[in-house]
């Protein structure tokens, strides 16, 4: 072809590819959002919810009892609204507990399971009692779907946990000097193409603290808040937080209190 | 027996929409573990959905279908209160049958 | 008070800052509760040892400022930056730039130093997690500024020439220890903390400054 024609075509091609690249960011983000929307119908989390309900109502453990009288903070057997008020202080243990540690407590006291065995099994989310804990946590959290977070801050223990959680959130350590706030302390932040909710305040309905437990499509796993925190610390290059430890409870209180009023969308679906 | 499916069926006009969520690992047989060895194939091969004893959907799947498959389909000729039965068989001859009432 | 011994070279004003974070009402010492929680809750796993939590003066000061919601005063900022500046080591072979193709690989990789990594694993720079670099890569984060056209925008046409020396040395220093230029920067100190080797940093330098790098096209 003639050189002037070639130049015109080259300029056009250049303009098109520049426009494509510029809109690719928006198109990619839109595409991912659409993909997630399509996955909402038929969220495999429902399978974990079903299994959890079955386990909750089944006579299990050395005492062959069901968990239906377990008190998650609103009275024995009251499930609606329990998840959205956790973590909270429990008089019978004298501690602030989250859903997962309170569930273990009920399995120990009502069903006769061994406490340290359950804490040992808990991190293995794909098998044995670890998988059962995940299923029941999903079921229990789902019972508060659509309700607003309203963690109590009446007891000194609850207020202390909030302050400890705040200091943990901003603690910088490890070879990368990361803190939770490195990623979750800015508005509109994004790692690669993954949006990051700002966790120092209410980031909105169904995100952040209001989104876990969630089903992760990329690895077909159901992740609870304990697992989410565990993997956050792994990627931050910290040592491992023990399951149900004070660090994990305190961060739950900090995020949950900050998210006051946010609607729980649990169980959600993630990439 | 394998874990139960979650089936919902709803009638709108003359069309019934059925949504099925199946619990299955759906291992294609082409993935490798951390040591480099192939993970054996384990996936649903045959799906059969029936209404009043008559088959309304047959599917032949491969390892290309993802874990915990979600299947949605429509068919005509059913009434509220009728039962829809879904059955799957996998490559290891394991099977699961569940049913739902059309709402 | 063990952790404050490492702050001996820093001005006395830091003691005032860290002492003011005791609790509200009831005299609760939240800082102590926080330290106790950290000690009781973390355990070593794989290569992530408790050494990962060893006290770091600049980190503690920056974190305390975040908790208090107040930025650091200028004197403190300068003190931290001066201390961090002293840690910068220039390349032992005098070469500032390596191969930009290798640099792109390092920028793409987020591996290394977690408890699922092995000590023999090669760490990546994690760069695209936070920065835009090569325009062709659309999967980039926004926690750090875009580095697209980094060298070009700074007029670097010959990285080994005298005119480019200040920019080249600044960029090396920034990669080695970003806190030397921004006291509480969120950017990992890839050289000082041993995340990347000298050779890897040379490759990343090339990605940023080599006129042939896609970053500068």
Q: Which structure tokens are listed for A176? A: 């990368």
Residues (pLDDT < 70) of chain B are 1
In a domain, A52, yes or no: yes
Query: Is B68 touching A (CB cutoff 8 A)?
Result: yes
Task: Tell me how many domains chain B contains.
Answer: 1
Strands A214-216 and A194-196: unpaired
The per-residue pLDDT for range C96-129, each reduced to its tens digit, is 999 999 999 999 999 999 999 999 999 999 999 9
pLDDT in tens, chain A (271 residues): 555 555 555 454 444 444 444 455 667 667 777 776 777 778 999 999 999 999 999 999 999 999 999 999 999 999 999 999 999 999 999 999 999 999 999 999 999 999 999 999 999 999 999 999 999 999 999 999 999 999 999 999 999 999 999 999 999 999 999 999 999 999 999 999 999 999 999 999 999 999 999 999 888 999 999 999 999 999 999 999 999 999 999 999 999 999 999 999 999 999 8
Q: Tokens 């080599």 correspond to what residue?
A: C210
For chain C, give every domain's residue range. Answer: 2-78, 100-216
On the question of pLDDT at C17 being above 90, the answer is no
pLDDT at A8: 58
**Chain pair A-B, CB pairs under 8 angstroms:** 28
**What CATH number is attached to the domain comprising B42?**
2.60.40.10
Task: Tell me how many domains chain A contains.
Answer: 1
Task: State mean pLDDT over C131-142.
Answer: 97
pLDDT at C19: 43
In a domain, B1, yes or no: no
**Chain A, nearest residue to C111 by Cα:** A235
In a domain, A195, yes or no: yes
pLDDT at C23: 44
pLDDT at C111: 95
In a domain, A254, yes or no: yes
pLDDT at C12: 45
pTM: 0.87
In a domain, A133, yes or no: yes
Contact A160 C33 (CB under 8 A): yes
Q: Are C156 and C210 in contact (CB under 8 A)?
A: no
The per-residue pLDDT for range C23-59, each reduced to its tens digit, is 444 446 999 999 999 999 999 999 999 999 999 999 9
Full domain range(s) for residue B13: 6-101
**What CATH number is attached to the domain comprising A146?**
1.10.760.10
In a domain, B75, yes or no: yes
What is the spatial distance between Cα A96 and Cα A101, in angstroms, rounded to a whole number? Answer: 10
Query: Is residue A232 among the annotated active site residues?
Result: yes
Q: What is the DSSP letter of B56?
A: E
Preferred mutation among A22, A172, A232, A252 to probe C, highest tally of C CBs within 10 A: A172
Query: Is B70 touching A (CB cutoff 8 A)?
Result: yes
The residue count of chain B comes to 103
Question: What contacts 24+ positions apart, CB below 8 Å, involve A21-29?
Answer: A21/C135, A21/C136, A21/C138, A24/C138, A25/C138, A28/A193, A28/C138, A28/C139, A29/A193
The per-residue pLDDT for range C61-99, each reduced to its tens digit, is 999 999 999 999 999 999 999 999 999 999 999 999 999
Distance from CA of C74 to the nearest CA of A (A): 21
Query: Is C163 touching A (CB cutoff 8 A)?
Result: no
CATH of domain C100-216: 1.10.760.10
pLDDT at A14: 46
Distance from CA of C162 to the nearest CA of A (A): 33
The helix, strand and coil proportions of chain A, stated in percent and rounded to the nearest 5, come to: 50, 10, 40
Mean pLDDT of chain C: 90
């Amino acid at each position: 072809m003639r050189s002037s024609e070639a130049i015109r075509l080259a300029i056009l091609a250049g303009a098109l590819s520049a426009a494509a690249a510029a809109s690719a960011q928006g198109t990619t983000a839109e595409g991912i959002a659409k993909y997630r929307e399509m996955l909402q119908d038929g969220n495999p989390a429902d399978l974990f919810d079903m299994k959890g309900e079955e386990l909750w109502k089944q006579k299990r453990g050395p005492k062959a009892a069901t968990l239906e009288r377990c008190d998650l903070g609103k009275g024995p057997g009251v499930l609606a609204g329990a998840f959205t008020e956790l973590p909270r202080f429990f008089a019978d243990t004298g501690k602030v507990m989250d859903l997962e540690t309170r569930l273990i407590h009920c399995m120990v006291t009502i069903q006769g399971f061994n406490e340290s065995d359950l804490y040992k099994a808990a991190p293995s989310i794909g098998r044995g009692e670890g998988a059962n804990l995940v299923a029941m946590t999903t079921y229990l959290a789902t019972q508060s779907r659509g309700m607003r977070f309203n963690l109590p801050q009446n007891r000194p223990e609850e207020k202390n946990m909030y302050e400890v959680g705040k200091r943990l959130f901003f603690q910088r350590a490890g070879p990368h000097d990361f803190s939770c706030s490195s990623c979750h302390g800015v508005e509109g932040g994004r790692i690669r193409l993954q949006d990051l909710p700002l966790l120092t305040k209410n980031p909105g309905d169904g995100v952040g603290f209001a989104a876990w437990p969630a089903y992760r499509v990329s690895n077909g796993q159901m992740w609870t808040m304990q697992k989410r925190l565990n993997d956050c610390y792994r990627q931050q290059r910290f040592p491992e937080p023990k399951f149900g430890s004070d660090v994990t409870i305190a961060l739950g209180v900090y995020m949950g209190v900050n998210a006051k009023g946010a609607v729980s969308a649990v169980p959600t679906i993630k990439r | 027996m394998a874990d139960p499916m979650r089936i919902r069926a709803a009638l709108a006009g003359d069309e019934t929409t059925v949504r099925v969520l199946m619990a299955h690992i759906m291992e294609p047989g082409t993935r490798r573990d951390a040591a480099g060895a192939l993970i054996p194939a384990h996936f649903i091969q045959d799906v059969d959905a029936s209404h009043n004893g008559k088959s309304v959907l047959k599917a032949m799947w491969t390892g290309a279908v993802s874990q915990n498959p979600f299947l949605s389909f429509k068919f005509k000729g059913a009434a509220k209160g009728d039962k829809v039965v879904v059955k799957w068989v996998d490559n290891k001859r394991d099977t699961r049958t569940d049913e739902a009432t059309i709402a | 008070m063990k952790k404050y011994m490492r702050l001996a070279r820093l001005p006395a004003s830091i003691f005032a800052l860290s002492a003011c974070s005791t609790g509200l009402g009831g005299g609760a010492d939240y800082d102590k509760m926080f330290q106790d929680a950290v000690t009781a809750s973390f355990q070593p796993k794989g290569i992530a040892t408790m050494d990962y939590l060893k006290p770091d003066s600049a980190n503690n000061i920056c974190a305390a400022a975040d908790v208090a919601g107040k930025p650091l005063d200028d004197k403190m900022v300068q003190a931290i930056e001066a201390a961090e500046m002293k840690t910068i080591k220039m390349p032992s072979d005098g070469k500032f730039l390596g191969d930009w193709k290798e640099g792109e690989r390092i920028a793409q990789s987020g591996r290394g130093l977690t408890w699922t990594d092995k000590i023999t694993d090669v760490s990546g720079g994690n760069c695209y997690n936070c920065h835009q670099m090569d325009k062709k890569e659309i999967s980039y984060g926004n926690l750090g500024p875009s580095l697209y056209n980094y060298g070009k925008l700074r007029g670097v046409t010959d990285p080994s020439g005298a005119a480019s020396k200040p920019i080249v040395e600044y960029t090396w220093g920034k990669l080695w220890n970003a806190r030397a230029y921004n006291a509480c920067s969120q950017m990992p100190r890839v050289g000082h903390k041993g995340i990347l080797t000298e050779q890897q940093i040379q490759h990343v330098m090339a990605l940023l400054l080599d006129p042939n790098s896609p970053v500068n096209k």
